[in-house]
Amino acid sequence: MYRPEIKVLDCTIRDGGLINNHQFDMDFVKKVYRASAGAGIDYFEIGYKNSKDLFSTEEYGLWKFCDDHIIEEVIQGIESKTKISCMVDIGRVNMDDIKNADESPVAMIRVACYVKDIDKAIAMANGFYEKGYETCINIMAISRDQGPELDEAFEQIERESHVIAVYLVDSFGYLYQETVSALTRRAKAIIKTKEVGVHFHNNQQLAFGNTIEAIIDGANYLDATIYGIGRAAGNCNLELLLGFLKNPKYDIRPLLDFISTDMLKLREEIEWGYILPYALAGMMNEHPRLAMALRNSDGKENYREFYETMQSTSTDCL
Amino acid sequence: MYRPEIKVLDCTIRDGGLINNHQFDMDFVKKVYRASAGAGIDYFEIGYKNSKDLFSTEEYGLWKFCDDHIIEEVIQGIESKTKISCMVDIGRVNMDDIKNADESPVAMIRVACYVKDIDKAIAMANGFYEKGYETCINIMAISRDQGPELDEAFEQIERESHVIAVYLVDSFGYLYQETVSALTRRAKAIIKTKEVGVHFHNNQQLAFGNTIEAIIDGANYLDATIYGIGRAAGNCNLELLLGFLKNPKYDIRPLLDFISTDMLKLREEIEWGYILPYALAGMMNEHPRLAMALRNSDGKENYREFYETMQSTSTDCL
């Protein structure tokens, strides 16, 4: 019943790090890796490879930079087939800092970009490919970029890159499954020699449902996080995804243990999940930044006022 | 863009009452009704019409019995087009207690039943129809009853009843959208003179996504609750559903107000939503009762043990 081509990527630490400036301690990250590896997850995305010239190591934790020796500390002593992935943003990485893949614990590097930056993303991804890494391109905020330039981006990636997968990223948690289906089919129609992947945000409680939709339409690379952790509303829940996939190589039990012992506690310290301002921002196809600001203010539960402000802001742009 | 045939039913008080033995106080219920009516919701399901010979009025609150004069107290002074609905279970109602519709504030009565009880349900629904009510039949636990007897039930309802809609109820929160789509199409293929409705539970965060799926396949009667309240994992979130439906008669703002002022507080007092044992019970197509018992025990966060026990119980039934 299962599709062997499907690969699951756990981005608990990478996307979760967007909530707390990547300040997870080493012990916690080891535990997450152990749970994920024990669950048979294919890829474990541990953070960003950002240049220390651009970001302060005092303000941001280890997983904003992901030095190879730090990653080695995480994985040492844990036997597993789970591969390590890092994400990079356009213009935030010093290519000279990146060793060749055969000297690094990192197997895959994913380049995140908007449609308008696709040329830069392809150049970067090809640079990593030449260093021996598996590569992906993650097209962010795809709900805002559904015009013909998206097809051009798909065509260009297909023609000019060596990526394993092109990810459709619903950064704003806006998409309903009809659009997911249309976008996945559109990508599959152009991208013939690479896989299509998906990364959904859970603003409207649709991250899991949309992932299922994309699977039906042929997406094989799937992002998820333990207990749905991630910026704002968070992501597709890894434990739900494993419940859906029938591949016997996956085992939900290490995730259940880890949620019981660590994630419930973490959820009391930092916030993600179904929270009305994030749901409303998702409905309106808006970046969650205003909702995040609201959640850090005294008026954090003033949902109606937030909704009306967002609505009049949208109307203003006429 | 909207489909005018779509009717939304708010079962906040009826399904929410399953968590607290229907012990909402009058003031709270009035506020919910005011919010729902203000939002332009089509039907407001206020509780069950159970016989007081069968259930104790000390153990259960007003909304287990829904006396007409109590309902009148709720709605008085609130101008609205929202119709009142009540639910009944097979064998739990004394038909002689039910006045004719023209003497009652209730417009619709929904009969909940399993497939095996479809004859009784049709007889009851026809009894209410003769008293002048709009009627529906809600087929519960449909994920367990997908054999040919389901088609027979559809055929019989189509032929023998006067219901407005036949509801497909995913009592266990088990269904993924492929099955939702198949079931909705199957119902639509047989039920030509009545509408198809859906009521989903949110164990796997799929209640809203599954509702969208059913809409795509032609379901026009949709159940939801404010902030997703409902037994165990709860239901499709009404505020999300209004965000999806484009009919200008609906207004999300009264719901946002009510969530800010009342639902957040209530959620601290009673529990519903994304809670692992409910998710696991959903994945396994099991009634949430064992998960509910776990949540009332000291081991409430022992997810792995719960999972393993449920698995071995399922295996035992071989």
Other beta carbons less than 10 A from residue A207's beta carbon: 30
Q: Domain check: are A169 and A257 in the same one?
A: yes
Distance CA B239, CA B256 (A): 8
From the number of C-beta atoms within 10 Å of its C-beta (0-12, 13-18, 19+), residue A146 rates as middle
Mark yes or no for CB contact B304/A244 under 8 Å. no
Residue B303 lies in a domain: yes
Q: Does residue A2 sit within a domain?
A: no
B178 contacts chain A (CB < 8 A): yes
In a mutational test of the B interface, the residue from A1, A176, A275 whose CB has the highest number of chain B CBs within 10 Å is: A176
For residue B302, which phi and psi values (nearest 5 degrees)? -85, 75
Enumerate the residues of chain B whose CB falls inside 8 A of the CB of residue A205: 202, 205, 207-209, 237, 240
A311 lies in some domain: yes
C-alpha distances out from residue B212 to A119, A141, B110, B222, Å: 36, 22, 22, 10
Residues of chain A with pLDDT under 70: 314-318
Average pLDDT over residues B304-312: 94
**What DSSP state is assigned to residue A259?**
I
Q: Are residues A86 and A159 in the same domain?
A: yes
Helices (H), B2-111: 12-16, 26-38, 68-75
Q: What whole-number percentage of chain B has pLDDT above 90? A: 97
Contact A260 B206 (CB under 8 A): no
The pLDDT of residue B54: 94
| DSSP designation for A263 | I
Domain stops at, among B269, B284, B300: B269
With beta carbons under 8 A apart, name residues in chain B contacting A264: 301
d(CA B49, CA A166): 55
Model pLDDT, residue B313 = 73
The pLDDT assigned to A284 comes to: 96
**Per-residue confidence (pLDDT) for residue A315, from 0 to 100:** 54
Residue A269 near chain B (CB below 8 Å): no
Q: What is the mean pLDDT of chain B?
A: 96
Give the residue from B182, B191, B185, B184 showing the smallest Cα distance to B153. B191
> What residues have CB less than 8 Å from B68, skipping those under 6 apart?
B99, B103, B104, B105, B106
- Report how far residue B143's alpha carbon sits from residue B135's, in angstroms, rounded to the nearest whole number: 23
Per the structure, how many domains does chain B have?
2
Among B254, B269, B284, residue at a domain's last position:
B269
For residue B205, being part of any structural domain is answered with yes
How does DSSP classify residue B175?
Answer: -
Q: Are A140 and A113 in contact (CB under 8 A)?
A: yes
Q: Which residues contact A155 (CB under 8 A, 6 or more apart)?
A: A190
For residue range B228-272, what is the model confidence (pLDDT) as tens digits? 999 999 999 999 999 999 999 999 999 999 999 999 999 999 999
B196 and B280 fall within a common domain: no
Query: Tokens 């591949």 map to which residue?
Result: A247
Give A-chain residues touching B205 at CB under 8 angstroms. 202, 205, 207-209, 237, 240
Judgement on whether residues A95 and A163 belong to the same structural domain of the protein:
yes
Q: Which residues of B touch A279 (CB under 8 A)?
A: 239-240, 243
Grade residue B120 by pLDDT with cuts at 50, 70 and 90. Answer: very high
Same domain, A280 and A264: no
Owning domain of residue B301: 276-316
Is B2 within a domain? no
| A282 found inside a domain | yes
Does B65 share its domain with B135? Answer: yes
Specify the pTM: 0.97
Q: What is the pLDDT of residue A313?
A: 74
For residue A186, tell me if it sits in a domain.
Answer: yes
> Which pLDDT value is given to residue B169?
98
Of A143, A82, A159, nearest in space to A282 by CA:
A143
Partner-chain contact B243 A279, CB within 8 Å: yes
Interface check A184 vs B, CB under 8 A? no
Question: Is B307 close to A256, i.e. CB distance below 8 A?
Answer: yes
Cβ-based neighbour number of residue B13 at 10 Å: 26
- The minimum CA-CA distance between A56 and chain B, rounded to whole Å, is 37
B176: left (phi over 0), alpha (psi -120 to 50) or beta: beta
User: Are B276 and A253 within 8 A, CB to CB?
Assistant: no
Q: Measured between CB atoms, does B202 come within 8 Å of chain A?
A: yes
A302 touches chain B (CB under 8 A): yes
For residue B15, give the 3-state DSSP assignment: helix
Nearest to B136 by CA among B115, B173, B161, B154: B161
Task: Give the pLDDT band (50/70/90) at residue B1.
Answer: confident
Do A92 and A178 sit in the same domain of this protein?
Answer: yes
Q: Is the pLDDT of residue B300 over 60?
A: yes
| Contact residues on chain B for A283, CB-CB shorter than 8 A | 240, 243
Report the DSSP pairing between strands A134-139 and B43-48. unpaired
Q: pLDDT tens, B152-205?
A: 999 999 999 999 999 999 999 999 999 999 999 999 999 999 999 999 999 999
- Is the domain of A197 the same as that of A293? no
For residues B128-141, average pLDDT: 98
Sign of CA dihedral A222, A109, A140, A268: positive
B305 & B242 share domain: no
Residue A123 lies in a domain: yes
* CATH label of the domain that carries residue B77: 3.20.20.70
Verify that B156 and B296 share a domain, yes or no: no
Looking at the structure, tell me whether residues B217 and B179 fall in a common domain. yes
Looking at the structure, tell me whether residues B157 and B103 fall in a common domain.
Answer: yes
- Across the interface, whether the CB atoms of A204 and B243 are under 8 A apart is answered yes
Contacts of A251 in chain B (CB under 8 A): none
Selected residue of B284, B303, B305, B307 to mutate for chain A interface (largest A Cβ count, 10 A):
B303
pLDDT tens column, A20-68:
999 999 999 999 999 999 999 999 999 999 999 999 999 999 999 999 9
Reported ipTM: 0.96
Q: Which residues of A touch B204 (CB under 8 A)?
A: 208, 240, 243
Q: Write out chain A residues lying below 8 Å of B259, CB-based.
A: 276, 303
Indicate the residue of B178, B207, B276 with minimum beta-carbon distance to A259: B276
